[in-house]
Structure 1
Amino acid sequence: MLDYTTNNAKSVWNNCLNFIKDNIQEQAFKTWFEPIKAIELTDNVLYIQVPSKFFYEWLEEHYVKILKSALQKELGPGAKLLYKIEMENAQGNKKPFTEQLPSTHREPVKTQELDVPVQQKNPELKNPFVIPGIRNVKIESQLNSNYSFDNFLEGESNRLARNAGMAVANKPGGTAFNPLMLYGGVGLGKTHLAHAIGVEIKEKFPEKTVLYISAEVFTQQYVDSVRKQTRNDFIYFYQLIDVLIVDDIQFLSGKSGTQDVFFHIFNYLHQNGKQVILTSDKAPVDMQDIEQRLLSRFKWGLSAEIQHPDFETRVNIAKSILFRDGVEMPEDVIEYVAKNVKTNVRELEGAIISLIAQSSFNKREITLELAKSVVEKFVKNVKKDISIDYIQKIVSDYFSLDVETLCSKTRKRHIVQARQLAMFFSKKYTKSSLANIGSLTGDRDHATVLHACKTVDNLLETDKQFKGYFEDINKKLSM
């Protein structure tokens, strides 16, 4: 009898779907009706399975009339609809059909159903960004419209990333750059470019749902969903996004639960042609405490590095800031600032603003002399650029070795420790990737560098003599 009722249910529901499909937009049909499964038809009552309470609430709030029309067209005016929801606990284990909810367009059933009016439900289930107490089903993008491609200046240091971002903005989910991973040091423009891509997509494709979120906020939302036992709703919310932008994805390091839920969300979005954009302070190959299955997906698309801007780009950035603020500055002053403030774009902008402020508040003309005094104070506490070659030279001299011996294949204990220290300090004081550090230290791989860094950390806790070596070299590099 079960097979008979199930077959009947599927037949009735398919006819309902044909009717519904002709009366709503294609994207809405795919999102809200294709995931539904017909379970059983008994006494003019059609049981359908939906993924979550969130799904049920959305259907009841937005599509109850068309559902009623479709069902009564098939089964007559006495037709009734009952939802069965696949619940999920905090560990992700599914418990099918543990909760039944009636449609609001029929009389309540005096059995085990839970009949709660939609308007009394917790709005947080619908949208993690909704302020409690305010009903708003619209998903806001959280984008900063001040960040655009127009004010993101192109140079050798960011050309690949910017052009890839433009390609994604013109065809989200339709290029080979999915996911698009933007990585690089602090203050180089990763967040700016990520926002710019999202802003451009919203302008060109206003129907698409775009969401920018930091990995830290994503993690907090996930923790809250586990506490409130709404993990299923949390996942379904993120499956609705057409373009998901996650900033500082390295924040997920060591957070196995958040990584697991993001893995499933990522898979769903990617498989359904949705665009994923990520930013990180390091390349996927250099990330630690991130599951391999997640790292492999980060590498599916394009990983584009944003490097430190060259002198020409820094000059153009400085001129752009001055133009934005309506300030004129002598060419020699602009070039001086650009030449001496080269750590990142953020500090360059800070130096320009400081110079403008000094001139304005003290009513002094912007001269090279004023620029020198401002820049000197501004960069005094900025860490010097230290190269891997310089670090290897300092370490080699300290241990009375030459650099060639330091980078050789020998396994003598004192040379191995010197080599490990050189790799550790290269990671600490430079922005180079682990792969690049290994390549410049006797053509070794990133795993060897990672092992060296962990060994140094362990020896610092267990070997006093080694700790003395470390502190001596660190002082030399910090001078």
Structure 2
Amino acid sequence: MRTTPRGNNFSNSAGNADTLAPPRNPFDTAKPVDGNLVPSQLNGSYTFDNYIEGDCNRLARSAGLAVANKPGTTSFNPLMVYGGVGLGKTHLVQAIGNHIKATAPERFVLYVSAEKFTNQFIDSVQRAQVQDFANFYLQVDALILDDVQFLANKGKTQEMFFHIFNHLHQSGKQIVMTSDRPPKDLQGLEDRLLNRFKWGLTADVQSPDFETRVAIIRNKMEQDGIDIPPDHVVDYLANSVHTNVRELEGVIASLVAQSSLSRRDIDLEMVKQALRHIIEEVEAEVNLDFIQKTVAAYFNISVELLKDKTRKKEVVTARQVAMYFAKHHTAHTLKTIGFHFGGRDHTTVMHSVQTVSDLVDSDKKFRDQVDELRKKFAK
């Protein structure tokens, strides 16, 4: 049994796909269907309007919009979007597909995960319908393949995708892919595939910065018809969940549900409760809280004074020491640390860290105090 289509059949398909008999639809193998009538497998809620732009994704979003406006005609073909889990890759590439469908409904746009593509190909081999499988994908005008790294070490599937890729690219069709890493770091993929991945543009998406997280929170709550909480509540949430967009949206969804069910506005206490039960406390948040309590107790003052505006010498010293340990014992940014010390800016934190470092070098008594405290934070 051959697991790839015969060369002459592939060539004929590329030359005049309209003359082909309707191939079987691998998304519904019960009956043959016209490829242009196949649902695009897109989630209609993923659009450019609700994909928040920030420094973390600006290049990828701009390239995606260019591709969506002129699929197959830009130099961004293929477009490869890569990044970690939950950073919005799938949202972005599906927004591309939805935009193409909205502006050119006659085009056959198809979104498929690499895992589903692989399973469909295996199924076509078992059913002796490999040619149908190939012919189906040859008709696509814009192919969006999610998580291309899943093709690693699947030789026959890679060979099939290689031929489909070549045909679509040569025919001026658009190819969009996502991956969890850049092409140069993909293992288990054939060199000829990796070479083609580099023909277009590779753009990364990174963890959203504070400003982007705030915008995501506001946008999501506005979409869900919830009154946006005061700035300090939004800032607290944005500072507490900073790993990825998916986790942040999960917390927001929980807050929206709680607000609707309890018929009360989202406040700081509700946010703290949501964080405690959904993400089981943010580790860095717990560490920072422990540092503040430990330093405050050592200097015999309250945690509230550490966050207060008072300029009393003993309080300022304690605050600076706490910021110093927060910088060295948590993953928080300077901006986040400042936020948890009464909303101070990052320059204040930088000054505090430097002041403590200088005193440690020049004042033995102070150094002994810092060393004593340091033992309490040793892991």
Verify same fold: TM over 0.5.
yes
User: In the alignment, is residue 298 of structure 1 matched against residue 174 of structure 2?
Assistant: no
Whether the aligned pair in 2 keeps the contact of 1:183 and 1:280 (CA below 8 Å) is yes
For these two proteins, the number of residue pairs brought into alignment is 274
Larger Rg: 1
Could you tell me which residue of structure 1 aligns to residue 187 of structure 2?
Answer: 288
Matched, 1:202 2:101: yes
Structure 2 residue 170 is matched with structure 1 residue 271:
yes
Say what the alpha-carbon RMSD is for the aligned residues: 2.5
Name the counterpart of 2:299. none
Change in 2 beyond 3 A, CA 1:178/1:133 = closer
2:25 aligned to which of 115, 127, 134:
127
Matches within 5 A, 1:35-184: 89-92=1-4, 94=6, 125-130=23-28, 132-133=30-31, 138-184=37-83
Aligned counterparts of 1:96 and 1:367: Cα–Cα separation in 2: 66
After superposition, what is the alpha-carbon deviation per residue over 1:298-335, rounded to whole angstroms, capped at 9, x for unaligned?
A: 11111110100000000000001110111112221111
What amino acid is the match of 1:378? I
Give the counterpart letter for 2:25 in structure 1: N
CA distance in structure 1 between the aligned counterparts of 2:7 and 2:180, rounded to whole angstroms:
39
Output the TM-score relative to the length of structure 2. 0.67
Instruction: Specify which of 75, 85, 91 is matched with residue 186 of structure 1.
Output: 85
C-alpha displacement of 1:134:
7.6
Between 1 and 2, higher relative CO (CA 8 Å, sep ≥ 6) is seen in: 2
User: Pick from 234, 238, 245: which aligns with 1:345?
Assistant: 245
- Counting aligned pairs with the same residue, the percent is 53
Pair 1:234-2:146 in alignment: no
- Matched letter for residue 216 of structure 1: E
Q: Structure 1: which 5+ runs fail to align?
A: 1-88, 98-120, 386-429, 431-478
1:372 aligns with 2:272: yes
CA distance in 2, matches of 1:383, 1:283: 29
3-state DSSP of counterpart to 1:144? coil
Quickly say closer, same or farther: Cα 1:382–1:254, change in 2 above 3 A: farther
Q: 1:135 to 1:289 in 2, by over 3 A?
A: closer
Residue range with higher mean Cα deviation, 348-357 or 249-258: 348-357
Offset, 1:364: 5.0
- Decide whether the 8 Å contact of 1:130 with 1:136 is kept in 2: no
Q: Residue 173 of structure 1 contacts residue 275 of structure 1 at CA under 8 Å; is this kept in 2? A: yes
Secondary structure of 1:207 counterpart: coil
Question: Given residue 376 of structure 1, which amino acid in structure 2 is its aligned partner?
Answer: R
Residues in 2 aligned to 1:91 and 1:374: alpha-carbon distance in whole angstroms:
51
Does structure 1 retain, via aligned residues, the 8 Å contact 2:141–2:168? yes
In 2, Cα distance between equivalents of 1:207 and 1:360: 40
3-state DSSP of counterpart to 1:212: strand
CA distance in 1, matches of 2:32, 2:137: 20
Say if 1:241 and 1:384 are closer, same or farther in 2 by CA, change over 3 A. Answer: farther
In 2, the alpha carbon distance for the partners of 1:95 and 1:163 equals 38
TM-score by length of 1: 0.54
Unpaired runs of 5+ in structure 2? 10-20, 286-330, 332-378
Q: Residue type of the partner of 2:108?
A: T
Residue aligned with 1:234, SS: helix
Q: Which residue of 1 aligns with 2:216?
A: 317
Residues 8-62 of structure 1, C-alpha deviations (whole Å, 9 max, x = no match): xxxxxxxxxxxxxxxxxxxxxxxxxxxxxxxxxxxxxxxxxxxxxxxxxxxxxxx
Residue 131 of structure 1: how far off its partner (Å): 5.5
Deviations 1:419-459 (A, max 9, x none): xxxxxxxxxxx9xxxxxxxxxxxxxxxxxxxxxxxxxxxxx
On the 8 A contact 1:181/1:303 being kept in 2, the answer is yes
Q: Which residue in 2 is equivalent to 1:216?
A: 115
C-alpha distance 184-206 of structure 1, shift in aligned 2 (>3 A): same
Query: Which whole-Å CA distance do the structure 2 matches of 1:170 and 1:182 have between them?
Result: 17
Task: Mark the CA change 1:340 to 1:221 in structure 2 (over 3 Å): closer, same or farther.
Answer: same
Residue by residue over 1:345-381, the C-alpha shift from the partner in whole angstroms, topping out at 9 and shown as x without a partner, is 1111111222233344445553223322322333336
- 8 Å contact 2:5–2:131 — kept in the other structure? no
Q: Give the counterpart letter for 2:236 in structure 1.
A: Y
Distance 1:278 1:196 in 2: 13
